[in-house]
């Protein structure tokens, strides 16, 4: 079994994923990192040079390669679950755990970071609200478990996920 972390940019997927993998003795994989490695460029550059649809196709290509993966915590890009095919394939290899955070919390977390193409706009706070509002129903619909990270640090999120896994 694998554990798939989904959720908006800045929801903590990488930090929580690394620690969860360490504590559970699992391997860690980040789909954005796979894309950056195979394309030999950054996500920002990919968006700028090839456009978002090209990136979305790469996401699906990565998910198609995960079929035989086992014992991985897999962190996905914030838009990964917007494609039904990605959701279907991911659910075949493990439960989808949503790291949820409200727009204000997300903004606080990502405000000093510059590597996210979708947030390179004049008013990132408004953009976060807009995109998160659109995606929230999808995230919540596809998630097998939701962790509200607003008031939790990385330790707290990891603990919550481990308790959920034990209770299943
Ligand atoms: C995206 C989130 C990013 C990355 C890309 C698009 C999105 O990943 O995949 O910039 O559509 O939300 P993180 O969620 O890891 O920032």
pLDDT digits (tens, 9 = 90+) for 113-155: 989 999 999 999 999 999 999 999 999 999 999 999 999 999 9
Q: What is the CATH number of the domain that holds 135?
A: 3.40.50.300
Q: For position 162, what pLDDT does the model report?
A: 98
The CB of 117 under 6 Å from ligand 1? The reply is: yes
Q: Whose CA is nearest to atom 8 of ligand 1?
A: 77
H/E stretch holding 6 reads strand 3-6
125 lines ligand 1 (CB under 6 A): no
From residue 83, alpha-carbon distances to 28, 59, 79, 160 in Å are 22, 10, 8, 27
Instruction: Supply the range of the domain harboring residue 61.
Output: 3-160
Is 46 domain-assigned?
yes
Q: Give the mean model confidence (pLDDT) for residues 64-82.
A: 98
The structural domain count of the chain equals: 1
Q: Residue written as tokens 């996210």?
A: 116
**Domain annotation covers residue 168:** no
Answer positive or negative: Cα dihedral of 79, 81, 82, 86: positive
């Amino acid at each position: 079994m694998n554990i798939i972390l989904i959720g908006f940019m800045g929801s903590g997927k990488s930090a929580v994923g690394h620690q969860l993998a360490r504590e559970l003795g699992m391997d860690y994989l980040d789909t954005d990192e796979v894309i950056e490695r195979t394309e030999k460029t950054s996500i920002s550059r990919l968006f700028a040079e090839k456009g978002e649809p090209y990136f979305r196709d790469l996401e699906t290509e990565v998910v198609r390669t995960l079929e035989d993966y086992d014992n991985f915590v897999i962190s996905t890009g914030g838009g990964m679950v917007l494609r039904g095919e990605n959701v279907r394939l991911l659910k075949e290899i493990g439960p989808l755990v949503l790291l949820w955070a409200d727009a204000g919390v997300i903004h606080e977390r990502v405000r000093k970071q510059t590597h996210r193409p979708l947030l390179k706009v004049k008013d990132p706070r408004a953009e976060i609200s807009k995109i998160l509002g659109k995606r929230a129903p999808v995230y919540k619909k596809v998630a097998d478990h939701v962790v509200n990270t607003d008031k939790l640090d990385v330790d707290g999120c990891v603990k919550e996920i481990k308790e959920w896994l034990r209770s299943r």
